[in-house]
């Protein structure tokens, strides 16, 4: 059997003929693909290559093999702390924000259009606010004028103000609260849109088959229909959970006290934009990218298996 037959699909068309037939579609996709390759694919490849070099932005990169990765694991104690904090943020804020977004979207789905739009704006508002950190800085201010300290002193719970943003016993928890509050963004909007586009005939069929309450409806009817929205929300939750850094820097400073809220993103920024050790910063970026990809593949596999069942 010739190789030419292998290149044909079930319709008898070769790959070349299919491309020629769909050339106008590919032409329309070309501007996006050009931008995607230029600003996403090439930077990822460049970062991977630079992670095996010593590069200070002033001299040509010098190949050093796996020295950057060895330094990360065996010599950089701050990296280990940043890795631990990043994983904690990802494990806590990612699932909590994801589940909370879906629950709120599910609860407001049956409301009227006006009420649903108002609640959607409230939930999505934090991701649009630019200087929202100033509000939280005032709420958790370390003096007696901070809202939390003032309320606790008035209630007699504490006698001296607590340094919420600099004390290592409290600042991680404060950042955690703020990150969860700000995680209700694009994923929440996708859930709202997905719930509004469900096929109602499936619910009627499920009622005939014995589905009795809304929780059974959600498990057997709603979730299988929302596989694309669930996957999109998962991607957004993963990217935001692993990319925690700006919140920590704005609330607790960079670096924070004893690096208590330091993350991989801040560590990468420190070495890349302050110390100009681009090779080492690229190694950190590669580790972060691999963590995100592994988590995304795991969640994607689970969601696809569930939607297929």
Per-domain boundaries in the chain: 1-50, 68-308
DSSP at 11: T
CA distances from 165 to 113, 143, 178, 247, 261 (A): 40, 11, 12, 12, 10
Class in CATH terms, 68-308: mainly alpha
Concatenated DSSP letters of 213-266: SHHHHIIIIIHHHTHHHHHHHHHHHHHHHHTTTHHHHHHH-SSPGGGTT--HHH
Whether the model pTM is above 0.85: no
pLDDT tens per residue across span 204-259: 787 787 777 777 888 778 888 887 788 788 777 877 888 888 888 888 888 888 99
Tokens 């991977």: give the residue: 48
* Distance between CA atoms of residues 46 and 100, nearest Å: 37
Q: What are phi and psi of 54, to 5 degrees?
A: -105, 115
Q: 10 Å Cβ neighbour count for 89?
A: 27
* Distance between CA atoms of residues 48 and 43, nearest Å: 9
pLDDT tens per residue across span 173-201: 999 888 888 777 767 888 888 888 888 78
């Amino acid at each position: 059997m010739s190789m030419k037959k292998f290149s044909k699909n079930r319709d008898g068309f070769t790959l070349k003929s299919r491309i020629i037939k769909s050339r106008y579609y590919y032409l329309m996709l070309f501007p996006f693909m050009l931008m995607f390759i230029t600003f996403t694919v090439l930077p990822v490849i460049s970062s991977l290559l630079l992670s095996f070099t010593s590069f200070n932005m002033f001299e040509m990169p010098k190949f050093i093999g796996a020295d950057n990765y060895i330094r990360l694991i065996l010599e950089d104690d701050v990296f280990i702390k940043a890795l631990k904090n990043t994983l904690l943020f990802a494990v806590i804020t990612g699932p909590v924000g994801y589940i909370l977004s879906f629950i709120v979207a599910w609860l407001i789905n049956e409301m009227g259009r006006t009420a649903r739009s108002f609640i959607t704006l409230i939930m999505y508002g934090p991701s649009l606010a630019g200087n929202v950190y100033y509000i939280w800085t005032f709420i958790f201010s370390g003096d007696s004028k901070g809202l939390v300290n003032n309320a606790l002193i008035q209630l007699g719970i504490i006698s001296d103000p607590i340094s919420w943003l600099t004390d290592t016993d409290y600042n991680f928890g404060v950042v955690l609260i703020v990150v969860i509050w700000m995680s209700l963004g694009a994923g929440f909007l996708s859930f709202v849109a997905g719930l509004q586009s469900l096929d109602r005939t499936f619910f009627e069929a499920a009622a005939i088959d014995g589905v009795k309450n809304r929780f059974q409806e959600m498990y057997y009817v709603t979730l299988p229909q929302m596989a694309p929205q669930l996957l999109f929300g998962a991607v957004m939750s993963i990217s935001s959970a692993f990319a925690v850094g700006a919140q920590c820097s704005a609330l607790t400073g960079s670096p924070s006290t004893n690096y208590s809220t330091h993350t991989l993103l801040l560590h990468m920024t420190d070495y890349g934009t302050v110390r100009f050790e681009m090779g080492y910063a690229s190694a950190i970026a590669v580790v972060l990218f691999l963590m995100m990809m592994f988590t995304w593949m795991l969640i994607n596999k689970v969601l696809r298996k569930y939607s297929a069942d």
